[in-house]
Amino acid sequence: MHPLSGRRVPAAEAVRALLDWVRPALRATGDEEELRALTAGVLAHGTGADRQRRQLGSGPWTPLPIV
């Protein structure tokens, strides 16, 4: 959901719109660059869960034994 319009949009568009909306506050607190870099990484490579799913689907795996 787009944070301002409430319409359905791709996640990357919603994140960019939210960052644009809060940019003045991020800049004021010195957090703009860090958050820009972090969100760029997630948008480019996915979340930790996304990476785990890709790894699981990339070949044979052996489940850990239940102890």
Using alpha carbons, list the distances in angstroms from residue 17 to 33, 34, 46, 56, 59: 16, 17, 18, 32, 37
Summarised one tens digit per residue, pLDDT across range 27-60 is: 999 999 999 999 998 888 888 888 888 877 766 6
State residue 51's pLDDT score.
80
Amino acid at 12: A
Query: Is-contact 19 35, C-beta < 8 A?
Result: yes
- 16-48 core/surface letters (b: 16 or more CB in 10 A; e: else): bbebeeeeeebeeeeebeeeeeeeeeeeeeeee
User: pTM for the whole thing?
Assistant: 0.64
State residue 11's pLDDT score.
86
